[in-house]
Chains A and B, each alone.
Chain A
Amino acid sequence: MNEFFAEYPLVFTMATTLAKIVLFTHIGLILAAYMPWVERKVSAWMQDRVGPNRVGYAGLGQPIADALKFIFKEDPVPGHVDKVLFTLAPALTVIPAILVLAVVPFAPAVSLFGQTAQMAIADLSVGILFVFAFSSLAVYGITLAGWASNSKYPLIGGVRSAAQMVSYELCLGLSVVGVFMAAQTLRLTDIVELQVDGYWNMFTQPIGFLVFVIAAFAETNRLPFDLPEAETELVAGYHTEYGSMKFAMFFAGEYMAMFVFSCLVAVLFMGGWDVPFMSNESFAALGNWGAALGFVAFLTKVLLFLFFYVWVRFTIPRFKFDQLMHLGWKVLIPLSLLNILWAGLWNMPS
Chain B
Amino acid sequence: MPHTASLTVLGAAESGPLNEYLPVLMLLLFSISFAALNIIVSWALGKRGQRNPDKDSAFECGLPPLESGRQRFSVKFYVVAMLFIIFDVEVVFLYPWAIVYQDLGWFAFFEMLLFLGVLFLGWAYVVRKGALDFSSRPQPGRIPGGPQR
- Among B22, B47, B80, residue most surrounded by chain A Cβ atoms (within 10 Å): B80
Whether B94 is near chain A, meaning CB under 8 Å from some CB there, is yes
* Neighbour of A156 across the interface among B42, B57, B73, CB < 8 A: B73
Query: In the bound complex, do residue B132 and residue A325 qualify as a contact, i.e. CB atoms below 8 Å apart?
Result: yes
Query: In the bound complex, do residue A340 and residue B116 qualify as a contact, i.e. CB atoms below 8 Å apart?
Result: yes
Give the dominant DSSP class at A's interface.
helix
- Residue of chain A at shortest CB distance from B137: A322
Nearest-Cβ distance from residue B19 to partner chain A, whole angstroms? 7
Residues on A with beta carbons closer than 8 Å to the beta carbon of B1: 3-4, 7
Q: How far apart sit A145 and B71, CA to CA, in the bound complex (Å)?
A: 15
Chain A proximity mask over B72-89: 1 for CB below 8 Å, otherwise 0: 010001001101100110
Query: In the bound complex, do residue A72 and residue B81 qualify as a contact, i.e. CB atoms below 8 Å apart?
Result: no
Query: In the bound complex, do residue B80 and residue A98 qualify as a contact, i.e. CB atoms below 8 Å apart?
Result: no
Q: How far apart sit A130 and B65, CA to CA, in the bound complex (Å)?
A: 42
Query: In the bound complex, do residue B14 and residue A9 qualify as a contact, i.e. CB atoms below 8 Å apart?
Result: yes
**With contacts A74-B46, A180-B98, A340-B94 known, is A99 near B27, CB below 8 A?**
yes
Interface residues on chain B, number (Cβ under 8 Å): 77
**With contacts A72-B47, A166-B84, A169-B84 known, is A150 near B58, CB below 8 A?**
yes
* Neighbour of A348 across the interface among B38, B59, B106, B112, CB < 8 A: B106
- Residue of chain B at shortest CB distance from A103: B24
Chain A proximity mask over B1-33: 1 for CB below 8 Å, otherwise 0: 100000100110110000111111011101110
**With contacts A75-B46, A95-B35, A151-B58 known, is A170 near B101, CB below 8 A?**
no
Whether B102 is near chain A, meaning CB under 8 Å from some CB there, is yes
Nearest-Cβ distance from residue A193 to partner chain B, whole angstroms? 16
Query: In the bound complex, do residue B88 and residue A173 qualify as a contact, i.e. CB atoms below 8 Å apart?
Result: yes
- Among A11, A17, A129, A151, residue most surrounded by chain B Cβ atoms (within 10 Å): A151
Query: In the bound complex, do residue A184 and residue B24 qualify as a contact, i.e. CB atoms below 8 Å apart?
Result: no
Residues on B with beta carbons closer than 8 Å to the beta carbon of A169: 84, 88
Whether B123 is near chain A, meaning CB under 8 Å from some CB there, is yes
Whether A177 is near chain B, meaning CB under 8 Å from some CB there, is yes
**With contacts A90-B35, A91-B39 known, is A78 near B28, CB below 8 A?**
no
* Neighbour of A95 across the interface among B32, B48, B56, B95, CB < 8 A: B32
Query: In the bound complex, do residue A124 and residue B134 qualify as a contact, i.e. CB atoms below 8 Å apart?
Result: no
Whether A244 is near chain B, meaning CB under 8 Å from some CB there, is yes
Nearest-Cβ distance from residue B4 to partner chain A, whole angstroms? 10
Whether A162 is near chain B, meaning CB under 8 Å from some CB there, is yes
Query: In the bound complex, do residue B101 and residue A184 qualify as a contact, i.e. CB atoms below 8 Å apart?
Result: yes
Whether A317 is near chain B, meaning CB under 8 Å from some CB there, is no
Query: In the bound complex, do residue A181 and residue B56 qualify as a contact, i.e. CB atoms below 8 Å apart?
Result: no
The 4 closest A-B CB pairs, nearest first, are A245-B42, A79-B56, A151-B58, A322-B134
User: Told that A98-B27, A162-B77, A344-B113 touch, could you supply 14 new A-B pairs with CB distance under 8 A?
Assistant: A8-B10, A79-B56, A121-B27, A123-B20, A130-B24, A149-B58, A149-B69, A151-B59, A155-B70, A240-B59, A245-B41, A322-B135, A326-B134, A330-B127
